[in-house]
Amino acid sequence: MFVNKRYIRYGLISSFFLIGYLFYQQIYQKWSEEKHQKALRACTTTLQNLRSEASKIKPVNLYPVQQNGKYGYKNGYGKIMIQPQFHRTELFHEGRGQIIDRNWFQGFINAKGEIVIPQEFRGVTDFAGGVAYFSGTREDQKKRGFIDRNGNIILELRNVDAHIETFPYSGFNNGRITAYLHKHESVPWGGFLFPYGNPVPRVYGSLDCTGKVTFEEFVWTIF
């Protein structure tokens, strides 16, 4: 049987490139995983240090109080400790009290009433393990990530199609935090079958401190 030598040559060259590509893919995947594990170890250590520092902070026993339409803080005996000057205040967590301006941007003060994190976040959780999650800023409503107790961004979520579980928010655990993905699909006739909300599928998983998301569990939730 006659076989054109040109076809044989093309076949050998194609096979050579295919083997080279597969070998490159294997090496690249191994390198990427090693790089990710190295970054994960580094950021996990950072989070452990932040949690350790936060655990040493003494509880701040101050409570929101309102006077003349402004909010400040009082102690357990009712004495004003931080003069009412804010549109809204929340309880202290890990030495930081959340303050809110009239446009509902949020920031934090310390126990002395000093603003340590300006009111620039559209939404932000209280601190847990030395870290708070924010969603939206004055300059960029789509900006999301995590800040430390000084307001430094320790992880910004870029191009991450996941939501952080904030109810309740408990911070990172071993470098990971609970995350979920909305599927944005609802059950037909859901409003009739479920008068208190329409089931929407969520895929639950975790986000590590490098920004990598791993989805694991599929559940239905009512909205």
Question: What are the phi and psi torsion angles at 66 (to 5°)?
Answer: -115, 135
Please tell me the total count of domains within the chain: 3
User: What 3-state class would DSSP assign to 164?
Assistant: strand
Of 97, 127, 154, which residue sits at a domain end? Answer: 154
Look at residue 3 in the predicted model and tell me its pLDDT.
Answer: 53
Angle at 45 between CA 43 and CA 48, to 5 degrees: 110
Which tokens is 150 given? 């000084």
Residue 61 has pLDDT above 80, yes or no: yes
Residue 192 has pLDDT above 50, yes or no: no
In terms of domains, do 40 and 120 share one?
Answer: no
In terms of domains, do 38 and 80 share one?
Answer: no
Distance CA 133, CA 146 (A): 4
In terms of domains, do 38 and 124 share one?
Answer: no
| Residue in this structure with the two tokens 């402004």, named with its chain if needed | 70
Distance CA 58, CA 11 (A): 72
Model confidence, pTM: 0.78
% of the chain residues with pLDDT over 70: 79
Decide: 187 and 201 in contact? Cβ < 8 Å: no
Domain assignment of residue 9, given as a range: 1-56
Look at residue 193 in the predicted model and tell me its pLDDT.
Answer: 46
Look at residue 191 in the predicted model and tell me its pLDDT.
Answer: 47
Q: Which range, of 14-28, 130-144, 184-198, averages the lowest pLDDT? A: 184-198
Q: Each residue of 69-128: pLDDT tens digit?
A: 999 999 999 999 999 999 999 999 999 999 999 999 999 999 999 999 999 999 999 999
